[in-house]
Structure 1
Protein backbone atom coordinates (compact mmCIF):
# COMPACT_ATOMS: atom_id res chain seq x y z
CA UNK A 1 0.00 0.00 0.00
CA UNK A 2 2.85 2.40 0.82
CA UNK A 3 4.41 1.83 -2.60
CA UNK A 4 1.12 2.67 -4.28
CA UNK A 5 0.77 5.88 -2.31
CA UNK A 6 4.35 6.91 -3.03
CA UNK A 7 3.84 6.32 -6.75
CA UNK A 8 0.72 8.49 -6.56
CA UNK A 9 2.70 11.42 -5.15
CA UNK A 10 5.17 10.98 -8.01
CA UNK A 11 2.34 11.09 -10.54
CA UNK A 12 0.85 14.16 -8.88
CA UNK A 13 4.16 16.01 -8.91
CA UNK A 14 4.85 15.06 -12.53
CA UNK A 15 1.39 16.22 -13.61
CA UNK A 16 1.79 19.42 -11.61
CA UNK A 17 5.17 20.10 -13.23
CA UNK A 18 3.49 19.93 -16.62
CA UNK A 19 0.85 22.46 -15.60
CA UNK A 20 3.49 24.84 -14.24
CA UNK A 21 5.47 24.53 -17.48
CA UNK A 22 2.42 25.28 -19.61
CA UNK A 23 1.50 28.31 -17.50
CA UNK A 24 5.00 29.76 -17.82
CA UNK A 25 4.88 29.17 -21.57
CA UNK A 26 1.55 30.99 -21.82
CA UNK A 27 3.09 34.01 -20.12
CA UNK A 28 5.36 34.56 -23.12
CA UNK A 29 2.31 35.63 -25.13
CA UNK A 30 2.42 38.86 -23.08
CA UNK A 31 5.64 39.77 -24.89
CA UNK A 32 4.47 41.04 -28.25
CA UNK A 33 6.51 42.74 -30.92
CA UNK A 34 5.39 46.27 -31.87
CA UNK A 35 3.48 46.54 -35.12
CA UNK A 36 5.31 47.63 -38.26
CA UNK A 37 3.12 50.72 -38.41
CA UNK A 38 4.24 51.77 -34.92
CA UNK A 39 7.93 51.12 -35.58
CA UNK A 40 9.26 52.48 -38.85
CA UNK A 41 12.78 53.31 -37.64
CA UNK A 42 15.23 52.40 -34.90
CA UNK A 43 14.04 55.30 -32.79
CA UNK A 44 10.35 54.52 -33.20
CA UNK A 45 10.99 50.84 -32.49
CA UNK A 46 12.87 51.71 -29.30
CA UNK A 47 10.02 54.02 -28.26
CA UNK A 48 7.39 51.37 -29.04
CA UNK A 49 9.32 48.79 -27.00
CA UNK A 50 9.56 51.24 -24.11
CA UNK A 51 5.81 51.86 -24.18
CA UNK A 52 5.30 48.14 -23.55
CA UNK A 53 6.88 48.38 -20.08
CA UNK A 54 3.70 47.14 -18.32
CA UNK A 55 4.03 43.85 -20.20
CA UNK A 56 7.61 43.41 -19.04
CA UNK A 57 6.76 44.10 -15.38
CA UNK A 58 3.74 41.79 -15.38
CA UNK A 59 5.71 39.05 -17.16
CA UNK A 60 8.66 39.26 -14.76
CA UNK A 61 6.55 39.16 -11.60
CA UNK A 62 4.36 36.33 -12.88
CA UNK A 63 7.27 34.25 -14.19
CA UNK A 64 9.27 34.55 -10.98
CA UNK A 65 6.21 33.92 -8.81
CA UNK A 66 5.20 30.79 -10.74
CA UNK A 67 8.78 29.59 -10.53
CA UNK A 68 8.85 30.10 -6.75
CA UNK A 69 5.45 28.39 -6.37
CA UNK A 70 6.81 25.45 -8.37
CA UNK A 71 10.01 25.44 -6.28
CA UNK A 72 8.10 25.32 -2.99
CA UNK A 73 5.71 22.74 -4.42
CA UNK A 74 8.76 20.60 -5.22
CA UNK A 75 10.22 21.17 -1.76
CA UNK A 76 6.92 20.18 -0.18
CA UNK A 77 6.79 16.92 -2.12
CA UNK A 78 10.36 16.14 -1.08
CA UNK A 79 9.14 15.71 2.49
CA UNK A 80 5.77 14.16 1.59
CA UNK A 81 5.60 10.44 0.84
CA UNK A 82 1.94 9.50 0.98
CA UNK A 83 -1.21 10.89 -0.58
CA UNK A 84 -4.98 10.52 -0.39
CA UNK A 85 -8.00 11.75 -2.32
CA UNK A 86 -8.43 14.90 -0.25
CA UNK A 87 -4.83 15.97 -0.72
CA UNK A 88 -5.13 15.31 -4.45
CA UNK A 89 -8.14 17.64 -4.62
CA UNK A 90 -6.18 20.31 -2.75
CA UNK A 91 -3.39 19.91 -5.30
CA UNK A 92 -5.93 20.19 -8.10
CA UNK A 93 -7.29 23.43 -6.61
CA UNK A 94 -3.74 24.80 -6.48
CA UNK A 95 -3.23 24.01 -10.17
CA UNK A 96 -6.59 25.59 -11.00
CA UNK A 97 -5.53 28.88 -9.41
CA UNK A 98 -2.03 28.75 -10.89
CA UNK A 99 -3.60 28.28 -14.34
CA UNK A 100 -5.39 31.63 -13.92
CA UNK A 101 -2.11 33.54 -13.53
CA UNK A 102 -1.65 34.10 -17.30
CA UNK A 103 -5.11 35.71 -17.41
CA UNK A 104 -4.49 38.05 -14.47
CA UNK A 105 -1.06 38.83 -15.89
CA UNK A 106 -2.68 39.92 -19.15
CA UNK A 107 -5.21 41.96 -17.18
CA UNK A 108 -2.47 43.72 -15.23
CA UNK A 109 -0.34 44.39 -18.31
CA UNK A 110 -3.29 45.84 -20.27
CA UNK A 111 -4.74 48.02 -17.52
CA UNK A 112 -1.86 48.99 -15.24
CA UNK A 113 -1.42 52.25 -17.15
CA UNK A 114 -5.14 53.07 -17.33
CA UNK A 115 -7.77 54.36 -14.85
CA UNK A 116 -8.67 50.69 -14.17
CA UNK A 117 -5.21 49.90 -12.82
CA UNK A 118 -6.39 49.50 -9.21
CA UNK A 119 -8.82 46.68 -9.91
CA UNK A 120 -6.43 44.84 -12.20
CA UNK A 121 -3.66 44.98 -9.58
CA UNK A 122 -6.07 43.94 -6.81
CA UNK A 123 -7.28 40.87 -8.72
CA UNK A 124 -3.68 39.98 -9.49
CA UNK A 125 -2.70 40.05 -5.82
CA UNK A 126 -5.89 38.37 -4.60
CA UNK A 127 -5.06 35.43 -6.86
CA UNK A 128 -1.63 35.07 -5.24
CA UNK A 129 -3.29 35.31 -1.83
CA UNK A 130 -5.59 32.45 -2.84
CA UNK A 131 -2.67 30.34 -4.06
CA UNK A 132 -0.83 30.96 -0.80
CA UNK A 133 -3.97 29.99 1.08
CA UNK A 134 -4.22 26.66 -0.74
CA UNK A 135 -0.54 25.93 -0.04
CA UNK A 136 -1.23 26.72 3.62
CA UNK A 137 -4.16 24.28 3.67
CA UNK A 138 -2.15 21.59 1.85
CA UNK A 139 0.73 21.89 4.30
CA UNK A 140 -1.57 21.83 7.34
CA UNK A 141 -3.34 18.74 6.06
CA UNK A 142 -0.16 16.87 5.13
CA UNK A 143 1.59 17.62 8.43
CA UNK A 144 -1.28 17.10 10.88
CA UNK A 145 -0.10 14.19 13.04
CA UNK A 146 2.60 13.70 10.36
CA UNK A 147 -0.21 12.34 8.17
CA UNK A 148 1.54 12.33 4.78
CA UNK A 149 5.17 12.99 5.69
CA UNK A 150 8.14 10.75 5.11
CA UNK A 151 9.40 9.01 8.23
CA UNK A 152 11.22 10.02 10.31
CA UNK A 153 9.63 13.47 10.08
CA UNK A 154 11.07 15.14 13.16
CA UNK A 155 13.42 17.35 11.13
CA UNK A 156 10.69 18.76 8.89
CA UNK A 157 10.15 22.44 9.69
CA UNK A 158 6.41 22.13 10.08
CA UNK A 159 5.61 25.21 12.15
CA UNK A 160 7.96 27.63 10.40
CA UNK A 161 6.60 26.70 6.97
CA UNK A 162 3.04 26.97 8.26
CA UNK A 163 3.81 30.45 9.56
CA UNK A 164 5.48 31.45 6.29
CA UNK A 165 2.45 30.43 4.23
CA UNK A 166 0.17 32.32 6.61
CA UNK A 167 2.38 35.41 6.28
CA UNK A 168 2.12 35.05 2.50
CA UNK A 169 -1.69 34.97 2.61
CA UNK A 170 -1.83 38.06 4.82
CA UNK A 171 0.78 39.98 2.82
CA UNK A 172 -0.80 39.28 -0.58
CA UNK A 173 -4.23 40.19 0.80
CA UNK A 174 -2.76 43.43 2.16
CA UNK A 175 -1.20 44.12 -1.25
CA UNK A 176 -4.57 43.55 -2.93
CA UNK A 177 -6.29 46.04 -0.61
CA UNK A 178 -3.46 48.57 -1.01
CA UNK A 179 -3.89 48.27 -4.80
CA UNK A 180 -6.95 50.51 -4.60
CA UNK A 181 -4.81 53.29 -3.14
CA UNK A 182 -1.28 52.65 -4.40
CA UNK A 183 -1.27 49.99 -7.13
CA UNK A 184 2.44 50.29 -7.82
CA UNK A 185 3.20 49.70 -4.13
CA UNK A 186 1.28 46.44 -4.31
CA UNK A 187 3.42 45.37 -7.26
CA UNK A 188 6.54 46.13 -5.24
CA UNK A 189 5.15 43.97 -2.44
CA UNK A 190 4.71 41.18 -4.98
CA UNK A 191 8.39 41.40 -5.89
CA UNK A 192 9.41 41.34 -2.23
CA UNK A 193 7.28 38.23 -1.70
CA UNK A 194 9.15 36.42 -4.48
CA UNK A 195 12.38 36.93 -2.54
CA UNK A 196 10.74 35.96 0.76
CA UNK A 197 9.19 32.73 -0.56
CA UNK A 198 12.41 31.69 -2.28
CA UNK A 199 14.06 31.39 1.15
CA UNK A 200 11.69 28.79 2.61
CA UNK A 201 13.34 25.60 3.88
CA UNK A 202 11.16 22.58 4.51
CA UNK A 203 13.77 20.41 6.22
CA UNK A 204 16.22 21.31 9.00
CA UNK A 205 19.18 19.32 7.71
CA UNK A 206 18.70 19.02 3.96
CA UNK A 207 18.40 21.53 1.16
CA UNK A 208 15.44 20.40 -0.92
Structure 2
Protein backbone atom coordinates (compact mmCIF):
# COMPACT_ATOMS: atom_id res chain seq x y z
CA UNK A 1 0.00 0.00 0.00
CA UNK A 2 1.39 3.40 -0.99
CA UNK A 3 1.86 5.87 1.85
CA UNK A 4 -0.16 9.05 1.27
CA UNK A 5 0.82 11.05 4.34
CA UNK A 6 4.31 12.24 3.34
CA UNK A 7 3.27 15.85 2.79
CA UNK A 8 1.32 15.91 6.07
CA UNK A 9 4.38 14.64 7.94
CA UNK A 10 6.76 17.08 6.23
CA UNK A 11 4.52 20.05 6.98
CA UNK A 12 4.04 18.89 10.57
CA UNK A 13 7.80 18.52 11.09
CA UNK A 14 8.29 22.11 9.92
CA UNK A 15 5.62 23.43 12.29
CA UNK A 16 7.07 21.53 15.27
CA UNK A 17 10.51 22.95 14.42
CA UNK A 18 9.12 26.49 14.34
CA UNK A 19 7.23 25.94 17.61
CA UNK A 20 10.45 24.85 19.34
CA UNK A 21 12.37 27.78 17.84
CA UNK A 22 9.82 30.27 19.17
CA UNK A 23 10.56 29.13 22.72
CA UNK A 24 14.12 30.43 22.66
CA UNK A 25 12.84 33.95 22.02
CA UNK A 26 11.81 34.05 25.68
CA UNK A 27 15.44 33.67 26.81
CA UNK A 28 16.91 37.14 27.21
CA UNK A 29 20.42 38.34 27.94
CA UNK A 30 20.41 40.30 31.23
CA UNK A 31 21.19 44.00 30.67
CA UNK A 32 24.54 45.35 31.82
CA UNK A 33 22.77 47.52 34.41
CA UNK A 34 21.29 44.41 36.07
CA UNK A 35 24.69 42.76 36.29
CA UNK A 36 26.54 45.84 37.53
CA UNK A 37 24.05 46.54 40.33
CA UNK A 38 24.18 43.04 41.85
CA UNK A 39 26.88 41.75 44.21
CA UNK A 40 27.41 38.63 42.11
CA UNK A 41 27.60 40.51 38.83
CA UNK A 42 26.66 38.63 35.68
CA UNK A 43 26.45 35.27 37.48
CA UNK A 44 23.81 36.62 39.87
CA UNK A 45 21.92 38.29 37.03
CA UNK A 46 21.85 35.02 35.07
CA UNK A 47 20.72 33.12 38.17
CA UNK A 48 17.70 35.37 38.57
CA UNK A 49 16.50 34.20 35.15
CA UNK A 50 15.98 30.61 36.36
CA UNK A 51 12.20 30.76 35.74
CA UNK A 52 12.88 31.34 32.04
CA UNK A 53 15.31 28.42 31.92
CA UNK A 54 12.81 26.15 33.66
CA UNK A 55 9.90 27.13 31.41
CA UNK A 56 12.05 26.76 28.30
CA UNK A 57 13.27 23.31 29.36
CA UNK A 58 9.79 22.02 30.17
CA UNK A 59 8.27 23.32 26.96
CA UNK A 60 11.14 22.19 24.73
CA UNK A 61 10.91 18.71 26.22
CA UNK A 62 7.12 18.60 25.85
CA UNK A 63 7.15 19.71 22.19
CA UNK A 64 9.92 17.25 21.39
CA UNK A 65 7.91 14.41 22.95
CA UNK A 66 4.90 15.58 20.91
CA UNK A 67 6.98 15.39 17.74
CA UNK A 68 8.32 11.91 18.59
CA UNK A 69 4.84 10.53 19.24
CA UNK A 70 3.39 12.31 16.21
CA UNK A 71 6.12 10.77 14.05
CA UNK A 72 5.48 7.30 15.46
CA UNK A 73 1.71 7.61 15.03
CA UNK A 74 2.15 8.44 11.37
CA UNK A 75 4.26 5.32 10.98
CA UNK A 76 0.95 3.53 11.59
CA UNK A 77 -1.18 5.83 9.40
CA UNK A 78 -0.82 5.24 5.66
CA UNK A 79 -3.70 7.13 4.08
CA UNK A 80 -5.21 10.55 4.62
CA UNK A 81 -8.74 11.85 4.99
CA UNK A 82 -10.09 15.36 5.43
CA UNK A 83 -11.09 14.87 9.10
CA UNK A 84 -7.65 13.38 9.78
CA UNK A 85 -5.90 16.36 8.21
CA UNK A 86 -7.94 18.85 10.23
CA UNK A 87 -7.29 16.91 13.45
CA UNK A 88 -3.59 17.04 12.64
CA UNK A 89 -3.94 20.77 12.03
CA UNK A 90 -5.43 21.15 15.50
CA UNK A 91 -2.37 19.48 17.03
CA UNK A 92 -0.08 21.83 15.10
CA UNK A 93 -2.11 24.88 16.13
CA UNK A 94 -1.87 23.92 19.79
CA UNK A 95 1.87 23.23 19.44
CA UNK A 96 2.46 26.77 18.18
CA UNK A 97 0.45 28.14 21.12
CA UNK A 98 2.88 26.68 23.68
CA UNK A 99 5.22 29.67 23.46
CA UNK A 100 2.63 31.99 25.07
CA UNK A 101 1.91 30.04 28.29
CA UNK A 102 5.66 29.32 28.44
CA UNK A 103 6.38 33.06 28.51
CA UNK A 104 3.60 33.53 31.05
CA UNK A 105 5.03 30.77 33.23
CA UNK A 106 8.53 32.25 33.07
CA UNK A 107 7.23 35.67 34.09
CA UNK A 108 4.90 34.64 36.92
CA UNK A 109 6.27 31.38 38.32
CA UNK A 110 8.05 33.21 41.12
CA UNK A 111 5.07 35.40 42.02
CA UNK A 112 1.72 35.09 43.77
CA UNK A 113 0.11 34.59 40.33
CA UNK A 114 1.81 31.25 39.75
CA UNK A 115 -1.50 29.34 40.12
CA UNK A 116 -3.10 31.07 37.13
CA UNK A 117 0.04 30.74 35.00
CA UNK A 118 0.39 27.01 35.70
CA UNK A 119 -3.36 26.47 35.21
CA UNK A 120 -3.21 27.97 31.73
CA UNK A 121 -0.06 25.99 30.95
CA UNK A 122 -1.53 22.65 32.04
CA UNK A 123 -4.92 23.39 30.44
CA UNK A 124 -3.20 23.75 27.08
CA UNK A 125 -1.74 20.27 27.47
CA UNK A 126 -5.18 18.89 28.29
CA UNK A 127 -6.25 20.20 24.88
CA UNK A 128 -3.13 18.78 23.22
CA UNK A 129 -3.76 15.35 24.70
CA UNK A 130 -7.39 15.47 23.53
CA UNK A 131 -6.25 16.39 20.03
CA UNK A 132 -3.85 13.41 19.87
CA UNK A 133 -6.66 11.11 20.98
CA UNK A 134 -8.92 12.64 18.33
CA UNK A 135 -6.30 12.07 15.64
CA UNK A 136 -5.88 8.40 16.52
CA UNK A 137 -9.64 7.86 16.90
CA UNK A 138 -10.26 9.25 13.41
CA UNK A 139 -7.47 7.14 11.96
CA UNK A 140 -8.35 3.90 13.75
CA UNK A 141 -12.08 3.95 13.09
CA UNK A 142 -11.32 3.39 9.40
CA UNK A 143 -8.81 0.54 9.13
CA UNK A 144 -8.17 1.35 5.47
CA UNK A 145 -6.20 4.40 6.63
CA UNK A 146 -3.78 2.33 8.71
CA UNK A 147 -0.66 0.31 8.07
CA UNK A 148 -1.44 -3.07 6.51
CA UNK A 149 -1.41 -5.86 9.07
CA UNK A 150 -2.11 -3.63 12.06
CA UNK A 151 -4.37 -5.69 14.31
CA UNK A 152 -7.18 -4.53 16.57
CA UNK A 153 -4.97 -5.42 19.53
CA UNK A 154 -2.28 -3.03 18.30
CA UNK A 155 -4.87 -0.31 17.71
CA UNK A 156 -6.24 -0.65 21.26
CA UNK A 157 -2.71 -0.61 22.72
CA UNK A 158 -1.94 2.71 21.03
CA UNK A 159 -5.30 4.09 22.13
CA UNK A 160 -4.63 3.19 25.76
CA UNK A 161 -1.18 4.77 25.61
CA UNK A 162 -2.75 8.16 24.90
CA UNK A 163 -6.11 7.85 26.60
CA UNK A 164 -4.84 7.76 30.19
CA UNK A 165 -3.03 11.05 29.58
CA UNK A 166 -6.36 12.89 29.67
CA UNK A 167 -7.21 12.31 33.37
CA UNK A 168 -3.58 12.88 34.38
CA UNK A 169 -3.41 16.23 32.59
CA UNK A 170 -6.81 17.20 34.00
CA UNK A 171 -5.52 16.29 37.47
CA UNK A 172 -2.46 18.49 36.90
CA UNK A 173 -4.72 21.36 35.81
CA UNK A 174 -6.84 21.03 38.97
CA UNK A 175 -3.74 20.76 41.17
CA UNK A 176 -2.38 23.98 39.68
CA UNK A 177 -4.91 26.01 41.65
CA UNK A 178 -3.63 24.61 44.95
CA UNK A 179 -0.20 23.04 44.38
CA UNK A 180 1.20 24.51 41.14
CA UNK A 181 4.70 23.09 41.55
CA UNK A 182 3.29 19.56 42.00
CA UNK A 183 1.11 20.12 38.91
CA UNK A 184 4.21 20.84 36.83
CA UNK A 185 5.94 17.78 38.25
CA UNK A 186 2.95 15.61 37.31
CA UNK A 187 3.17 16.85 33.71
CA UNK A 188 6.93 16.35 33.60
CA UNK A 189 6.58 12.78 34.91
CA UNK A 190 3.92 11.97 32.30
CA UNK A 191 6.08 13.36 29.47
CA UNK A 192 9.04 11.35 30.75
CA UNK A 193 6.90 8.21 30.80
CA UNK A 194 5.78 8.85 27.22
CA UNK A 195 9.41 9.38 26.20
CA UNK A 196 10.30 5.91 27.45
CA UNK A 197 7.13 4.14 26.27
CA UNK A 198 7.02 5.64 22.78
CA UNK A 199 9.11 2.66 21.73
CA UNK A 200 5.97 0.55 22.01
CA UNK A 201 4.85 2.01 18.70
CA UNK A 202 8.03 0.74 17.07
CA UNK A 203 7.23 -2.71 18.50
CA UNK A 204 3.82 -2.45 16.84
CA UNK A 205 5.60 -1.70 13.56
CA UNK A 206 7.90 -4.66 13.87
CA UNK A 207 5.17 -7.08 14.85
CA UNK A 208 2.79 -5.95 12.12
CA UNK A 209 5.44 -6.40 9.42
CA UNK A 210 6.73 -9.75 10.66
Confirm or deny a common fold (TM above 0.5).
Answer: yes
- Pick which of 190-199 and 80-89 moved more: 190-199
4+ residue segments displaced more than 3 Å: none
110, 114, 128: which one aligns with 2:111: 114
Give the C-alpha shift of residue 129 in structure 1. 1.0
1:192 corresponds to which residue? Answer: 189
Unaligned runs of 5+ in 2: none
1:54 corresponds to which residue? Answer: 51
Shift of the 23–53 alpha-carbon distance from structure 1 to 2, 3 Å rule, reads same
Unaligned runs of 5+ in 1: none
The question of whether the paired residues in 2 share the 8 Å contact of 1:155 and 1:204 is answered with no
Give the C-alpha shift of residue 90 in structure 1. 0.4
Give the C-alpha shift of residue 82 in structure 1. 0.3
| TM-score of the two chains, using structure 1 as the length reference | 0.92
Distance 1:205 1:83 in 2: 19
- Please give the per-residue CA displacement for 1:4-42, whole angstroms capped at 9, x wherever unaligned: xx33x1001100000000010010112111111001288
Q: Give the RMSD, CA atoms, in angstroms.
A: 1.8
Between Structure 1 and Structure 2, the one with more helix by share is 2
The question of whether the paired residues in 1 share the 8 Å contact of 2:27 and 2:52 is answered with yes
| TM-score of the two chains, using structure 2 as the length reference | 0.91
1:143 corresponds to which residue? Answer: 140
Give the C-alpha shift of residue 43 in structure 1. 2.1
* Residue-pair matches, total: 203
- Name the SS of the counterpart of 1:115 in structure 2: coil
Question: Does 1:39 find its partner at 2:5?
Answer: no
1:74 corresponds to which residue? Answer: 71
Distance 2:82 2:109 in 1: 40
Distance 1:10 1:103 in 2: 29
